[in-house]
Amino acid sequence: MKKTLTTLALGATLAAGPALAELTFPSLSYRTGPYAANGIPFADGYADYFAMLNERDGGIGGERINMIECETGYNTEKGVECYEATKGEGALVYQPLSTGITYQLIPRVSADGIPMHTLGYGRTSASNGEVFPWVFNYPATYWDGASVAIKYLLDENGGDLSGKKIALVYHNSAYGKEPIRTLTELSEEHGFELLELPVDHPGQEQKSQWLQIRRERPDNVIMWGWGVMNQVAIQEAVNIRYPMDQFIGIWWSGSENDVRPAGEGADGYKALNFHAVGSDFELYDDLEEYVWSKGNAAGAGDQHGTVLYNRGLYAAMIAAEGARKAQEIHGTSAITPAMMRDGLEQLEMTEESMAELGLAGFGPTFSASCENHGGSGRAAINQWNASEGKWEVLTDYIQSDQELIARLVQEDSMAYAEENNIELACQ
């Protein structure tokens, strides 16, 4: 009897588990908790892209995609639990959508030999592939974001920021503090005064910071926020009548969620972005035909075309193209995490390749290498049009100060390598 039960249990487990040749992409999502409003559109875009590939192409290279969704609630401990629970399923790449979870996973993925892609978040200096061979953060990093914001302001001010005052309103966390080093260096180089204004988590009360902004009247405000901090900051800026077109958020402070609660007052607010907005892409036709029209849209299906939905699509597209590249390099469709790493490391996104995917002009072109896991470091400026209720693209992709970023990345990553006795790759 006992033997029969064991056999049945084993059989059931094998039947429920993924087929061995499937390509497994875990989705560490957050559909619940304080950050759910941002986590949902990203997770929906991520899931819909893979569902579309399965329906339209039968997966990637003939292998069907098995996407495992695990709820983190944007909680670092739960994120690590999700990683531990799913890594044994043959996970090819992790995209945790949280800087906190990223920091916890860096040593784990390095030890386990599973790639991690942190799309425009996480540890900036992980863009040095020599020190972080398993971590990728292209197409742009936080430091690129800080540099692009300053370059844009230079452009707006005739190339001269000397004597200007720029305030940085940031989430008082590892994430929020990321741009400080870059902005400090840039303030010395360009002669502007940097006013640092930390906001404690979660950021529901920011009166002190915005009273200070009202008193000190900085020429520009740059924001590094997430979740409720963004909405409150934009509302407070409206309240003190700060000119919205002088207020720029990082790409995590630039979704519809962030501006809508402030209504018309948010008109003119700017934000960086490293991918396109809206739904005017051929890929959207395929999503409609193969996924949405069949009632298979992820979630409620009401996020299509939003900034964070597009970001989820973009993240999934990069993962899929990494897998395709890995299949090409190794001549097999059934790739391992190590092969996936090779694919991500040799990934090249060109105008042609994006057009072929139905995403012409969707993101900046970039090519990765053994040393460079951070991409080209380019981002565009978007501006919120409140009356039309949509983001408008204000600039082309602006190149960050690569010389400065490379130096900072080198210093930080080498210090990490020394601290952790890491042998450099790419030698």
Partner 1 sequence: MPDQLLFAIEVTLNGLMAGVLYALVALGFVLIFKASGIFNYAQGVMALFAALTLVGIMDGQVPFEHLINAVFGTDIHGFGWEVPALLAILLTMVVMIAFAWAVNWIVLRHLVGQEPIILFMATIGLAYFLEGLGDMMWGADIKTLDVGLPQGINTTIDEATFNMFGYGFFIDNLDITATIIAAVLVAVLVAFSQYTKQGRALRAVADDHQAALSVGISLNFIWVLTWSIAGFVALVAGIMWGAKSGVQFSLSLIALKALPVLMLGGFTSIPGAIVGGLIIGVGEKLFEFLVGPLVGGATENWFAYVLALIFLVFRPQGLFGERIIERV
Q: Using CB under 8 A, list all residues that contact partner 1.
A: 31-37, 40, 172, 196-202, 204-205, 207-209, 211, 214-215, 227-228, 231-232, 235, 238-241, 257, 260-261, 263, 265, 295, 299-300, 302
Least distance to partner 1 from the beta carbon of 231, Å?
Answer: 5
Least distance to partner 1 from the beta carbon of 234, Å?
Answer: 10
The rounded distance, in Å, linking the Cα atoms of 406 and 129 is 12
Q: In one letter, which amino acid is 139?
A: P
The rounded distance, in Å, linking the Cα atoms of 177 and 222 is 12
Least distance to partner 1 from the beta carbon of 268, Å?
Answer: 16
Choice between 161 and 297, CB closer to partner 1: 297
The rounded distance, in Å, linking the Cα atoms of 337 and 246 is 44
Q: Where are the alpha helices (DSSP H) in 169-265?
A: 174-177, 180-190, 207-216, 228-239, 256-259
Q: 8 by DSSP, 3-state: which? A: helix
Choice between 143 and 292, CB closer to partner 1: 292
Least distance to partner 1 from the beta carbon of 173, Å?
Answer: 10
User: What is the DSSP secondary-structure string of 35-63?
Assistant: THHHHHHHHHHHHHHHHHHHHHHSSBTTB
The rounded distance, in Å, linking the Cα atoms of 12 and 278 is 44
Least distance to partner 1 from the beta carbon of 37, Å?
Answer: 5
Choice between 191 and 263, CB closer to partner 1: 263
The rounded distance, in Å, linking the Cα atoms of 23 and 411 is 36
Choice between 202 and 305, CB closer to partner 1: 202
The rounded distance, in Å, linking the Cα atoms of 412 and 143 is 12
Pairing state between β 165-171 and 220-224: parallel
- Taking a C-beta distance cutoff of 8 angstroms, is the pair 371, 426 a contact? yes
User: What is the DSSP secondary-structure string of 280-303?
Assistant: -SHHHHHHHHHTGGGT--STTS--
Choice between 92 and 308, CB closer to partner 1: 308
* Residue 111 Cα distances to 93, 106, 294, 422, angstroms: 14, 9, 41, 11
User: What is the DSSP secondary-structure string of 243-279?
Assistant: -GGGEEE-GGG-SHHHHGGGGGGGTT-EEEESS--SS
Q: In one letter, which amino acid is 243?
A: P
Choice between 107 and 389, CB closer to partner 1: 389
Choice between 199 and 409, CB closer to partner 1: 199
Choice between 41 and 337, CB closer to partner 1: 41
The rounded distance, in Å, linking the Cα atoms of 378 and 139 is 7
Choice between 294 and 407, CB closer to partner 1: 294
Choice between 182 and 257, CB closer to partner 1: 257
DSSP 8-state class, residue 265? G
Least distance to partner 1 from the beta carbon of 184, Å?
Answer: 13
Q: What phi and psi, each to the nearest 5 degrees, are found at residue 11?
A: -60, -45
Least distance to partner 1 from the beta carbon of 308, Å?
Answer: 11
Residue with tokens 């900036």: 124
The closest of 258, 294, 299, 228 to 382, measured between CA atoms, is: 258
Q: Which tokens hold the place of 35?
A: 């950050």
